[in-house]
Chain A
Amino acid sequence: MSTSGRSGAAATPAARRARATRWAIGVGAALVTAIGLVLMFLLAQATNNRALYERYYVRLFGINVVVAVLLVLVIGWVAFRLLRRLRQGKFGSRLLIKLAAIFALVAVVPGALVYVVSYQFVARSIESWFDVKVEGALDAGLNLGRATLDSLSDDLAAKTRSASAQLAQVPDTSAGLVLERIRDQLEATDVILWTGSGQLVASAGSSRFQLSPERPTPQQFRQVRPERAVAHVEGLDETAPPGATPPVASVRALAMVQRPGFDFDTAPRYLQVTRPLPPAVVANALAVQEANREYQERALAREGLRRMYIGTLTLSLFLAVFGAVLLAVLFGNQLARPLLVLADGVRQVAAGDLRPTAVLQGKDELGGLTRSFAVMTQQLADARGAVEKTVGELDAARANLQTILDNLTSGVIVLDAKGTVLSTNPGATRVLRAPLAAYEGRALVEVPGLAEFGAKVQQQFEDFLVERVQHGLDHWQHAFELHASGTDLPQQDGAINIVARGAELPGAARLLVFDDISEIVSAQRAQAWGEVARRLAHEIKNPLTPIQLSAERLEMKLSGKVQPPEQAVLVKSVKTIVDQVDAMKRLVNEFRDYARLPAADLKPVDLNALLADVLQLYSAENLPITLRSELDERCPPIRGDAQQIRQVIHNLLQNAQDAAEAAASGTGRAGEVVVRTRLGDSGQRVRLTVQDSGPGFAENILKRAFEPYVTTKTKGTGLGLAVVKKIADEHGARIELSNRVVDGAVAGAQVSLSFALASGPRAAAAHTEDSKSSAA
């Protein structure tokens, strides 16, 4: 399997070393166990074979003890390692300990049982060998033998003594015959007559053929008294090997020969009689003695024997138990390893790590299990990879969609069936001017200012759901007006016109898409007004010239032909007509201008030069106000139509002047108008600002000042700022209208326009130089 190969190749040196260590431990332990078993076998064998056993017992015992100690050390080391692993919380050590403990228990309990039984058996059986009765019987046998020998000896001694009387009257020279007779009488093998100093006087029997027969010891001579004979058992030796013919034992008696009044000056004579013992008696007596000796020997040694057997047993138990425990640990390790690998793998997988797991090569079920597990893990990893890929694609798609939604100018809200906001996009917040994102999870009607809208939307959805069944519609569309204050002017106070479209999403969610169409409405309205103005101007302008001409002709014809009072009325009336027609013409022209603004012809224009040109017309002597200009000489040319910009400047200055004048006449202070140009900080735009010291704009005017026919002036058409706005829009210039606030009080109005440069920023620098030089 490829995974196993990979994992094998990826094995770290530490893992290899650990494996080598494990091998070494295993081999060493097996070796020690084998040695121990062999030694134990030898020890047991030796117990059977007494001689071998006795010779080598101590040495064998010593070697076995050494092996046992080695085993103990190995087991101690293994146990220490296991405990350390357990303490470190290493994975699987608990299982390993459990397995080892079970195996050890399985090995130890029967071993201990056998040991206890054997111990009892050995102790009892050794004790049972030694019995008081047996000992008594042996003792009795020994005594019997001894008594038999004693009686034989006494008998011979007595006979010898009585026989010695026959020699009392016999001279030494003729003693031989008597001795022969005595030999016959006593059935002795040998009869010898000694002097007190141990010299042979006469002899009969086998000793006759010996040159120097064995002489009694001086001690024996001393023991013999006149009235008492002494008998000894000779040749009763234990030296004969068992099974061989028993030695020829005999009783040797010694008696003093009393010779009263016969030969006073000579030393006493001693008669020695030797008679063989019955071989059966000798053999049995020796057998009893030997048995007794051995019995006593073993009885005395039984403690040692017991100790020896029990020592062997104990050592066998130790070796067996230690070996078993060691093997238990090793086998437990072996058995637990696949389980550990599996468990480790499971843990890894649970932790989300789907790398290939280790695979064991064993042919048994556990090895197969690890292989299956590896395959499973691989499949999991593949599946997860596929899922991750899909999720990634989904994420990308969603991010795409989100980006689209976020950058959509239209507002999008997803609602549930009860009208709760599920999600919104920034466009919705912008369009509705309400913090919709903060109200996600709450009902749309709860959003401040949107209660009515929410209710209406809900109503629309419900209607749509009903109608959908009937008409098969897939969406509804409706225009709403928000923030309407209820006045007659629909455009008042920042009312928002939106067009909303609803559709149903899967899962009973509702999609609400809406757009701010206020500007479109405004533009439509402006366009409509322009059309009206153009037509009105056209229709009005046509009769104006005939009216004027007719009036002037009337004056010319009638002048001097009527009475002075009438003349005065005529002149005044005609003047009024002409003036009013002029005013009307101007009004119409303005209308026409507004409606018919030609498309701007955008070219580089030097704004400063243009301003200087226009400002000449507003010379100081013509005005009741002061006009101040602050021109920024760095200003590069801007993109614009000089003619239209001129108009813008005129309109703005006129407005400012009117406002300042009105304020000045009201308060008596001199009005002031400031015209200012400035290059923007970014160097991208040029800002034109016109300030006045007038009363400023009212709040409601400020919002709608750029719409036509909105004016604060009694004589104004309300088209001035509308034209400015239109031109600014044509130029792509930003226009801002605000009140100047000084110390919390309105100090005047301010209109500022920022124009785009004629070229990029780089060209702008060169133009700046130009404008400087031209200004100089």
Chain B
Amino acid sequence: MAWLPAPAAAQARPGASITQMRLEQADDGIYFSAAVQFELPSLVEEVLDKGIAIYFVAEAELYQERWYWTDRKVAQVTRHMRLAYQPLTRRWRLNVSAAPMTGAAGLGISLNQNFDTLTDALDAIKRVGRLRLADVSEVGDDPLHQVTFRFRLDTSQLPRPFQIGVVGQADWNIATERTARLAMEKQK
């Protein structure tokens, strides 16, 4: 097991939590994986059912500790996820991209998957796998590396009037953050 028990205070919201964090070293770089647990509020599900896409952002940051100064950010990777329901085919579509997907141009370069059920799609979202953090050379030989992982529902990419309606509503606030010192696992 790679993740270390984190203090309870690190969790921003009881509704969402990071259950697993893992740092792996492969030949071509350092990869990060995590597992997130959250329940989609019914309000959000309703919105999804009406065909409106919602966005999730997963963010991982790798820090190098410096005893004489604040920690240096070595690497950062972001994964944007767009979940939408297609009423015509009754299927769920998940687009994954490294950049924010605003408009059709963003969707064009994204990877998309179709799911028959919402649960399948959410399972795919909750498993944040193989985020390429950095090259091997960029990371030192320390046994432990400090990694901060954030996961949130990105309301800023919702349509703007919609934002004004939902901003401040607790149902829309799905966010969690955790910082842990992880050991590097060598990939076989």
State which residues 134-167 of B face A: CB under 8 Å: 159-166
Contact B104 A240 (CB under 8 A): yes
- Binding site of A, secondary structure by majority: helix, strand, loop or mixed? helix
Contacts of B52 in A (CB 8 A): 293, 296-297, 300
Contact A293 B88 (CB under 8 A): no
A302 to B164, CA, bound (A): 10
Contact A307 B165 (CB under 8 A): yes
Contact A304 B108 (CB under 8 A): no
Q: How far is the CB of A18 from chain B (nearest CB, A)?
A: 46
Contact A236 B86 (CB under 8 A): yes
State which residues 221-280 of A face B: CB under 8 Å: 232-233, 236-241
State which residues 94-117 of B face A: CB under 8 Å: 104, 107-108, 112, 116
Contacts of B116 in A (CB 8 A): 219
A473 to B90, CA, bound (A): 141
Given A239-B104, A241-B104, A304-B165: A292 in contact with B90 (beta carbons within 8 A): no
- Binding site of B, secondary structure by majority: helix, strand, loop or mixed? mixed
| From A236, A286, A304, contact of B164 by CB (8 A) | A304
Contact B164 A146 (CB under 8 A): no
Instruction: Tell yes or no: A145 within 8 A of B by CB.
Output: yes
Contact B162 A149 (CB under 8 A): no
Q: Look across to chain B and name the residue whose beta carbon is closest to the beta carbon of A153.
A: B89
Instruction: Tell yes or no: B41 within 8 A of A by CB.
Output: no
Instruction: Tell yes or no: B87 within 8 A of A by CB.
Output: yes
Contact A300 B160 (CB under 8 A): no
Contact A142 B88 (CB under 8 A): yes
Contacts of A289 in B (CB 8 A): 51, 86-88
Given A57-B160, A146-B90: A303 in contact with B108 (beta carbons within 8 A): no
State which residues 149-188 of B face A: CB under 8 Å: 159-166
Contacts of B162 in A (CB 8 A): 297, 300-301, 304
Contact A236 B161 (CB under 8 A): no
A-side interface size class: 20 to 34
| From B89, B107, B161, contact of A149 by CB (8 A) | B89
Q: Look across to chain B and name the residue whose beta carbon is closest to the beta carbon of A296.
A: B50
| From A233, A300, A307, contact of B89 by CB (8 A) | A233
Instruction: Tell yes or no: A285 within 8 A of B by CB.
Output: yes
Given A54-B161, A300-B50, A300-B162: A286 in contact with B104 (beta carbons within 8 A): no
Contact A300 B87 (CB under 8 A): no
Q: Look across to chain A and name the residue whose beta carbon is closest to the beta carbon of B90.
A: A146
Q: How far is the CB of B127 from chain A (nearest CB, A)?
A: 18
A240 to B107, CA, bound (A): 9
Contact B104 A145 (CB under 8 A): no
Instruction: Tell yes or no: A308 within 8 A of B by CB.
Output: yes
Contact B86 A238 (CB under 8 A): yes
State which residues 1-55 of B face A: CB under 8 Å: 47, 50-52
Instruction: Tell yes or no: A85 within 8 A of B by CB.
Output: no
Contacts of B165 in A (CB 8 A): 300-305, 307
Contact B104 A305 (CB under 8 A): no
Q: Look across to chain A and name the residue whose beta carbon is closest to the beta carbon of B106.
A: A239
Q: How far is the CB of A303 from chain B (nearest CB, A)?
A: 5
Instruction: Tell yes or no: A298 within 8 A of B by CB.
Output: yes
Contact A145 B159 (CB under 8 A): no
Contact A296 B51 (CB under 8 A): yes
Q: How far is the CB of A211 from chain B (nearest CB, A)?
A: 22
| From B93, B107, B161, contact of A304 by CB (8 A) | B161
Contacts of B51 in A (CB 8 A): 289, 292-293, 296-297
A29 to B84, CA, bound (A): 51
Contact A54 B160 (CB under 8 A): yes
A237 to B111, CA, bound (A): 13
A237 to B114, CA, bound (A): 10
Contacts of A292 in B (CB 8 A): 51, 87
Q: How far is the CB of B6 from chain A (nearest CB, A)?
A: 33
Contacts of A293 in B (CB 8 A): 50-52
Chain A residues packing against B (C-beta within 8 Å): 53-55, 57, 142, 145-146, 149, 219, 232-233, 236-241, 285-286, 289, 292-293, 296-305, 307-308
Extra 4 A-B pairs, beta carbons < 8 Å, given A293-B50, A304-B162, A308-B164: A239-B112, A289-B51, A304-B161, A307-B165
**23 examples of A-B residue contacts, CB within 8 angstroms:** A55-B160, A57-B160, A57-B164, A145-B88, A149-B88, A236-B86, A237-B93, A239-B107, A239-B108, A292-B51, A297-B50, A297-B51, A297-B159, A300-B50, A300-B162, A301-B165, A302-B161, A302-B165, A303-B165, A304-B162, A305-B165, A307-B164, A308-B164
Q: Which 3 A-B pairs have the closest CB atoms?
A: A304-B165, A54-B160, A304-B164
